[in-house]
Amino acid sequence: MEWNALTYSGNTVWNVRNEKSPDGGYIGGEKRKPRSEWMIQENTHEALIEPHAVTSQLISDMTSREFVCALTREVRKYSESHQDDPAKNLRKEVLALNDRISKTMGLIVELDNPSPAIRKINKLENKRK
């Protein structure tokens, strides 16, 4: 959208898109390059729109109640569908290891030879790291 507004306001814009990669995507993973890499030549042709008019319209649209409500709905839908905790399983595993270590330590005091239990604790500690 932004490069269109620049073009319609009398500028020529190039170097906007990344090259396509042989696998069908784009080099760099994104279709468009960052704006800092665009080449913009100002005042190359008569403007079809006033840049101020575009900015004013964008601000008006983005502050409208309709836009804010639609954006809020989309954010809620997104957050509801992305509730996954990527570390949840790891936390469960660490809690289980903590429990096993505690139980093994409790057994040590009852053993005549605690060496095997200590080796087991060391293995569990290494796993927990």
Within this chain, do residues 94 and 71 fall inside the same structural domain, yes or no?
no
Domain boundary among 65, 81, 97: 81
Within this chain, do residues 70 and 96 fall inside the same structural domain, yes or no?
no
Structural domain tally of the chain? 2
Strand 12-14 versus strand 39-41 pairing type: antiparallel
Predicted model pTM:
0.42
Alpha-carbon dihedral sign for residues 16, 21, 24, 26: negative
Of 112 and 39, the structure prediction assigns the larger pLDDT to 39
Report pLDDT digits (tens) over 7-24.
988 999 999 999 998 888
Q: Element (H or E) spanning 124, and its range?
A: helix 115-128
Within this chain, do residues 58 and 102 fall inside the same structural domain, yes or no?
no
Q: Domain containing 118: what range?
A: 88-128
Q: What percent of the chain has pLDDT over 70?
A: 99
Confidence of residue 110 (pLDDT cuts 50, 70, 90): confident
Position 88 scores a pLDDT of 82
Within this chain, do residues 92 and 77 fall inside the same structural domain, yes or no?
no
